Each structure stands twice: as C-alpha cells, then as structure tokens.
C-alpha cells in the first residue's frame, strides 16, 4: 500500500447517494464506538473546549439564563450520526457547563440518524455550513470531525472559511493523520465492528484520502495551525472571526 501521497480519486461508499440505506444507517450508528476509540475528542475537550468554557464561565459568573443571556453555543459541522457532539455534551454537562449544542449535516440520511440523539441541549438540523453563514448565525465554538478529508481543494477552502465566519471563539477540525501504522491497525481493529456496515472499506479509504500534518497546514494556510493531539490524529485550529 502506497501511502506517500493522498489518494484523492478514492470515493467513500457512504458518499454515494444511492448506497444501501440499511448499511449506511448501521455505519452512522456504529461511528459512535469507532469515534470513541480513535477520534480523541475527550482529549480535545480537555485541552481546548474545557479551558474555553471555564474562562467563559469566569467572565460571566451569573448563569446565562438568569442573566438573560444566551448560553454558550457550540456547532458541529458535518455531524453525521451525531455521536461526537453527544459525547462532548456529556463531558460538558459533567463539568456543569451550560451549553447549547447544534449539529448540522446537509445529508438527510445523516440528519435522520442524528435526530435520534436529540436531547434537551442538543439540536440537529439538516443544513450545510454555507447556509448557516448566509443566515448570519454565530457560535462560541465551531468544530468538525472527519469532514476535511472528504472535501476537494475548493470545498475545503469554502468549508474552512465558513467555519471561521461562524465562530467568535475557537475553530477545531479533527481528522485522521495518514500513515502506515494507522492503516494496518485500523484494518485489523475494525474487523469485529465492520459486519453490516461500510466501516472497513470507508475507513481504509479515509486513511488513504487523509492528510499528514504538513500537507494540511499547507492546504489550509493562514490563520490555521495543525496539531497532532493523539496517535493518528490531526487537529486544525484557528480563532474564529464572527
């Protein structure tokens, strides 16, 4: 397997609008386990979200609703089945933060799967980032998981720019870091979770489409910096300009 360069010709099965809906639904639901094992968002919560939420709470000691202010708002762009936002909401609730979470995805099949996770503080909407931007909406934190490697160069620039325009605080895009060890370990580790889903084919294609840190930094340009927060992971970070 040649992983020296990104294989951008590969298309993931779940990106086919005519793919098997039952397998797609099973894939979106099982992302919950896969993301928990490999995506490292609990670590990103500790290093990025919690410090921001703590500073925000210190600056606004009266609870938002009592003070007539809206609570902190966090947006997950391309939320898929909604498991990442659900996990982050659990962590924030445990720390006593008052946060409103919105997950958006323009794919109605993903939106349908995510809607089952709606909770009093978590809302899902079938929309893309450009739509929210055109509406003039703004959030305190904007994030995504496993979206960047799906996009071509023009889409990536538009997506990154939308995310900066939508956030008045940090923007955090998490993705896979391409590499041999990631490929071999995923190929072995996904075996028990793969039956009935696209997880094996699409996961391996994702790794082959994904970036190394210096490639993503070059593709995104300023003001982005690219961190490597965990094995096989990248995190593109910038300050929003909403």
Ligand X SMILES: C[S@@+](CC[C@H](N)C(=O)[O-])C[C@H]1O[C@@H](n2cnc3c(N)ncnc32)[C@H](O)[C@@H]1O
Q: Which residues bind ligand X (CB under 6 A)?
A: 31, 35, 77-81, 84, 104-107, 110, 128-129, 145-147, 150, 159
Instruction: Report the residue number, 77 or 190, with the smaller CB distance to ligand X.
Output: 77
Residue 126 Cβ, how far from ligand X at the closest point, in Å? 10
**Residue 24 CA to its chain's centroid (Å):** 18
Instruction: Report the residue number, 146 or 212, with the smaller CB distance to ligand X.
Output: 146
Tokens of 6: 């990104």
Residue 60 Cβ, how far from ligand X at the closest point, in Å? 29
Instruction: Report the residue number, 77 or 182, with the smaller CB distance to ligand X.
Output: 77
Integer Cα distance of 240 and 242 in angstroms:
6
Residue 61 Cβ, how far from ligand X at the closest point, in Å? 33
Instruction: Report the residue number, 159 or 183, with the smaller CB distance to ligand X.
Output: 159
Residue 144 Cβ, how far from ligand X at the closest point, in Å? 6
Query: What phi-psi label fits residue 120: left (phi over 0), alpha (psi between -120 and 50 degrees) or beta?
Result: alpha
Integer Cα distance of 57 and 191 in angstroms:
43
Tokens of 110: 């993903």
Bridge partner list, 192: none
Residue 34 Cβ, how far from ligand X at the closest point, in Å? 8
Bridge partner list, 231: none
User: What is the DSSP secondary-structure string of 102-159?
Assistant: EEE-S-HHHHHHHHTT-BTTEEEES--HHHHHHTT--BSEEEEES-GGGS-HHHHHHH
Closest-CB residue for ligand X? 80
Residue 198 Cβ, how far from ligand X at the closest point, in Å? 10
Integer Cα distance of 185 and 177 in angstroms:
13
Give the three-state DSSP class for 226. Answer: strand
Residue 63 Cβ, how far from ligand X at the closest point, in Å? 30
Residue whose C-alpha is closest to residue 153's, from 6, 42, 34, 35: 6
Instruction: Report the residue number, 133 or 212, with the smaller CB distance to ligand X.
Output: 133
Instruction: Report the residue number, 79 or 89, with the smaller CB distance to ligand X.
Output: 79
């Amino acid at each position: 397997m040649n992983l020296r360069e990104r294989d951008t010709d590969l298309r993931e099965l779940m990106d086919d609008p005519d793919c098997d809906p039952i397998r797609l639904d099973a894939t979106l639901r099982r992302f919950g386990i896969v993301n928990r094992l490999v995506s490292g968002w609990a670590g990103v919560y500790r290093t990025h979200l919690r410090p921001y939420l703590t500073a925000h709470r210190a600056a606004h000691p009266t609870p938002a609703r009592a003070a007539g202010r809206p609570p902190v708002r966090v947006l997950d762009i391309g939320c898929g089945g909604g498991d990442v936002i659900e996990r982050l909401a659990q962590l924030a609730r445990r720390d006593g933060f008052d946060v409103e979470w919105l997950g958006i995805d323009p794919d109605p099949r993903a939106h349908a799967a995510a809607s089952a996770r709606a909770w009093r503080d978590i809302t899902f909407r079938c929309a893309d980032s450009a739509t929210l931007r055109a509406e003039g909406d703004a959030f305190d934190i904007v994030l995504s998981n496993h979206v960047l490697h799906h996009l071509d160069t023009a889409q990536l620039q538009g997506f990154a720019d939308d995310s900066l325009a939508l956030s008045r605080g940090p923007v955090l895009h998490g993705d896979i870091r391409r590499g041999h060890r990631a490929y071999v370990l995923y190929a072995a580790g996904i075996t028990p979770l793969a039956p009935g889903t696209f997880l094996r084919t699409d996961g391996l294609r994702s790794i082959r489409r994904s970036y190394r840190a210096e490639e993503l930094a070059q593709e995104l340009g300023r003001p982005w910096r690219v961190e490597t927060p965990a094995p096989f992971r990248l995190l593109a970070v910038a300050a929003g300009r909403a």
